[in-house]
Amino acid sequence: MESLVEFLTVEECHQVDAALLTSREKFTSRVAIYALRSLKTIATQQNCTIKSLSQETITDWIHSDPSLQETQDGNFRRFFSQIVLGAIRPLQAIANDVGNDGAIENVTVAQVISHYEAQAKVSL
């Protein structure tokens, strides 16, 4: 099992930091990127699409991830499972908006950031 040792690369951190977002929106963008990376990894390992992953499969994978077992307790793993599950809806909206045929697997970090920047502009 590939672990989630690095939630965001240095380059991705710079991309989020450079975005025209509030601190809260940057945090939300980072969470979506963490979740996207996790979902892509889980789907690859399960040899299926993200859309076909069950909540149980996602939760089981997170609970068995070695990097989370070594450094975090069960409460964190439950919390992180809810974060990943909660990010599916906005990631699906991004996939639909950018013309990826609704495939979350094809969403990029840049598209996640762009989505949250567009939402921020609307709320001004």
Q: How far is CA 77 from the centre of its chain?
A: 15
| Residue matched to tokens 């994978």 | 61
What is d(CA 72, CA 77) in angstroms, rounded to the nearest whole number? 7
pTM: 0.84
User: According to the model, what pLDDT value does residue 54 have?
Assistant: 94
Mind listing the pLDDT tens digit for each residue in 7-62?
A: 788 999 999 999 989 999 999 999 999 999 999 999 999 999 999 999 999 999 98
Q: Where are the domains of the chain?
A: 10-122
- Reference 113, options 56, 30, 37; nearest CA is 30
Mind listing the pLDDT tens digit for each residue in 63-89?
A: 887 766 665 566 888 888 999 999 999
Residues ≥6 apart with Cβ < 8 Å to 52: 43
